[in-house]
Chain A
Amino acid sequence: MIVTRRETLTGRILLVLLMVLTVLPFVSLFVTALHPSGTYPDGLSWPSSPQWGNFIDAFQAANMERLLLSSALIVLGVVPVSVLFGTMAGFAFGHLRMPGHRIGFLVFVLGLTLPFEGLITPLYYQVRDMGLLNTRWAIILPLIGLFMPFSVLWMRAHFITMPDELSEAARIDGASTWQLFWRVHVPLARPALTSLGILLFLWTWNQFLLAIVLVDDPAKRTMAGALGAFQGQWGTDIPLLCAGSLLILTPTLAIFLIFQRRFVAALLQGSLKG
């Protein structure tokens, strides 16, 4: 390939600049968190005596262990069920293709771009009438529904690429449709399933609107919702707020860094399909 050295150099510099721009806010958050609690430090200055204790204070102030548990419970409630329902419907629309599957699928596609704010008001009264306000179910059940368009679309896109011959062969061996689905197609769909699971995990963990509208107690919210409450309570104590925000970010960042390849691939594909 014909590439001039000057071009690669500009590219490298630009890329490094962009990375600095991305990381700088995190760095500012980190150094600010080390300043004495209650002070108003400069945006980017290393404290004379780093207060590592701020993280412990914030851990206790934010009730971190309860927040982690709550978010984990909500994720456990949302993700497996959404993936299962989405996969079954995706299998039906993409592979079984029963009469009416086109219209059925179209109805799901329509829901893809609906902003959550457009549904939140009736959702509040609906959840209230179900007696679920202020419980984790108030976040879990609506989220499963709200994630359905994407989950179905995602899994249908996978199943539509699977050759019919595969199913023919399984049926000749006497497999029922459920066995065909569960034993043959689900194992083959593992990459698509993992990516979907990662995306849904992220969207659940970061869900804010539903959490603040439907659940008052921060200890029963998602991480993002709890962070909103933490800011409301400690917003004036900048170092503590920064320490708390960092703590609340840590689990997501850790999981992201561990599974980064899958994450990046999932996010890229996710936005391409969505």
Chain B
Amino acid sequence: MAGPLAATVEPVTGRERRKRRPRPARLGWLFALPAVVVYLTFVIRPLLLTVQYSFYDWNGIGAATWTGLDNYVRLVTDPELSGTILHAFELILFFSFVPVLLGLAVAATIRQIAQSRLALVARTVLFLPQVIPLVAAGIMWTWLLSTTGLINQLLSGIGLGSLTRAWLGDFGTALPAVGVIGAWVQIGLCTLLLLAGMSKIDNSLYEAARLDGAGPWREFRSITLPGLRQEIGVCVTVTVISALASFDIIYVSTQGGPGNATMVPGLEIYYLAFAEREVGMASALAVALTVLVLLCVLPIQRLTRDGTR
């Protein structure tokens, strides 16, 4: 690689006809070329094909027939399909709101001991759920939430035995139970991100607030929260995407069941495309999911990026 590239460069640097350093366009794009090629092949092309497939009725083998917007009409009218999107929004509550709010509360409480030895250990421990595969988190929690699992054991232990149930198998609790798994995965990341953000806030602000007699709540609202705008934005973005595009956890813990109680777009796309061979419908849902993610992420980015710096 070094040979040919060096050869194309030599005459340019040698010429030095302009005062400014020469920046030949071709050379720059040559550097970007490998990335551009793999990106176009494995991201942009599939993306465009998804859009194309979504206007067809195709079983993946035979001929495809053009059906226009039929797949999208079905997406809106079929409660089973539109339900998956509602489930994804419900999961945002658990994957995103709970971890961010809890993370804020915890980070604000432990701010003063952020440099202690305990906090250093916590940095490692709280990251464990982010390091393991989501599938493993799913398997672990399937066991915890099962009839004989730890959750029911704890409930019986504190005299709430009447509440015990197969959490992931119950129509009423399956989706929140899956949400709890997601919350467990995200809370450590959110806490540590927010804590890192808080450490960047000037300490003299807190000193001044204390001297003025501000309580912890006042301090949190007037100093911590505004200073964390960017970090909160990051937490919300990351967790919202993980909720809307959830797949791994649900695949191993409930497979979308019981009934369709925990079916989410990602899993439905997988079933439609590879089990039911409805490639067109799967693609329409895929387009909807992609647009949904963009629609949720862009405003969050705008809200939190503006005003900072």
Chain A interface (Cβ < 8 Å from any Cβ of B): 1-3, 7-8, 10-12, 14-16, 18-19, 21-26, 28-29, 32, 40-44, 84-86, 88-89, 91-93, 96-101, 104, 107-108, 111, 113-126, 141-142, 144-146, 148-149, 151-152, 164, 167-168, 171, 174, 176-179, 181-182, 202, 205-206, 208-209, 212-213, 223-224, 227-228, 231, 238, 241-242, 245, 248-249, 252-253, 256-257, 260, 263-264, 267-268, 271-272, 274
Contacts and interface: CB of A to CB of B under 8 A. Distances in A.
A48 B194 CA distance: 43
Contact of A18 (B21, B49, B191): B191
Nearest to A241: B139
Contacts, number: 325
A213 B192 CA distance: 34
B295 to A, nearest CB: 11
Given A25-B137, A88-B31, 18 more contacts: A2-B207, A11-B112, A18-B187, A22-B126, A22-B129, A24-B150, A85-B34, A97-B28, A120-B46, A123-B46, A124-B273, A144-B42, A148-B35, A179-B2, A212-B251, A227-B136, A228-B252, A268-B193
A19 B151 CA distance: 17
Given A44-B153, A145-B38, A114 B293 contact: yes
A271 B124 contact: no
Q: Main secondary structure on chain B at its contact with chain A?
A: helix
Majority secondary structure of chain A interface residues (helix, strand, loop or mixed): helix
Interface of B: 1-2, 5-6, 9-10, 13, 21, 23-29, 31-32, 34-36, 38-39, 41-47, 49-50, 53, 60, 106, 109-113, 116, 118-119, 121-137, 139-141, 143-144, 148-154, 184, 187-189, 191-193, 196, 203, 206-207, 210-211, 216, 230-231, 234-235, 238, 241, 244-245, 247-248, 251-252, 265-266, 269-270, 273-274, 279, 282-283, 286-287, 289-290, 293-294, 297
A89 B118 contact: no
A7 B112 contact: yes
A193 B196 CA distance: 22
Contacts of B136: 224, 227, 245, 248-249
Given A114-B293, A208-B251, A11 B32 contact: no
B279 to A, nearest CB: 6
A89 B153 contact: no
